[in-house]
Structure 1
């Protein structure tokens, strides 16, 4: 086998491993949506997302920095909440956290909406970084604004992914 063939095989293996990392962590993030305590659920979700970014960094041999990871997550959250998709999801994500403090109805509403939102956000984050790393990017040169449109598309895919996992 030539060097080119070995490189193609290496990239395929990285892609396969990274895809598994993203799917596994998206499911873990969905689970954090069932945590009934508003601040604790968010902390758990971010912890899963940071773990995923660290795992993806390992797969692609890219240095990982926890504080940069937090910044990326915050930037992509801002992208979502500032756009049209954010307005549509406001009722899903933010309202859901506020709703948790309302007895019975709030908890029920939150349990219905947060797992899907958390899974979709984590899926999108992972897919965007998978592409970024595969193209030779690093944590330091990631530009959330440039990735915003792709992130939104991946978020919509993530909503479908979450539905597919529920029916499987």
Structure 2
């Protein structure tokens, strides 16, 4: 059974952790907004750009060398490869919005929870990576998948808290 040897550092300054959580929150909000774009391709590109920017911003917050865009894309692709089955299923869920009228309305009603949850999960994985001293992404792929799945579920709940509620009729 694989173990997660990349434990977050408990010595992290609480202000740094708060900055990182705020960074993730802001990028989740941006990803949820991108979900309103009526093109799946533009949405995918937009969310990927938001994830890469978040990885770079988190690196700066944790005072890690800021990865170049190319390195950040490669790291993101590697991460997606590690969690591919779950990540692809989550992203394909967004395709439901391509159904005429009902599909798009349903998608908008969820306020792009899928995008927000995916960005949240990627953010939490990189937060853990930086807090572990840069070793977490070297963990066993099953550990990464499990952490992504847990973070994705947490991200869905988090995204729901960010979504405005419909006024009562």
TM-score, structure 1 normalization: 0.76
Q: How does 1:16-95 map to 2 (within 5 A)?
A: 16-63=18-65, 64=67, 65-75=71-81, 78-81=84-87, 86=89, 89=90, 93-95=91-93
Change in Cα spacing, 1:146 to 1:16, as seen in structure 2 (3 Å) is same
Aligned 8 A contact 1:34 1:111 in 2: yes
Establish whether residue 116 from structure 1 lines up as the match of residue 110 from structure 2. no
Aligned pairs, number: 152
Other structure's SS at 1:103 match: coil
For structure 1, the residue ranges without an aligned partner over 5 or more in a row are 1-6
More helix by share: 1
Please state how far the C-alpha of 1:43 moved relative to its aligned partner.
Answer: 0.6
For structure 2, the residue ranges without an aligned partner over 5 or more in a row are 1-9
Aligned 8 A contact 1:128 1:151 in 2: yes
Alpha-carbon separation, structure 2, partners of 1:31 and 1:151: 22
Counterpart for residue 157 of structure 1: 154
TM-score, structure 2 normalization: 0.76
Higher RCO structure (Cα 8 Å, ≥6 apart): 2
CA RMSD of aligned residues (A): 2.7
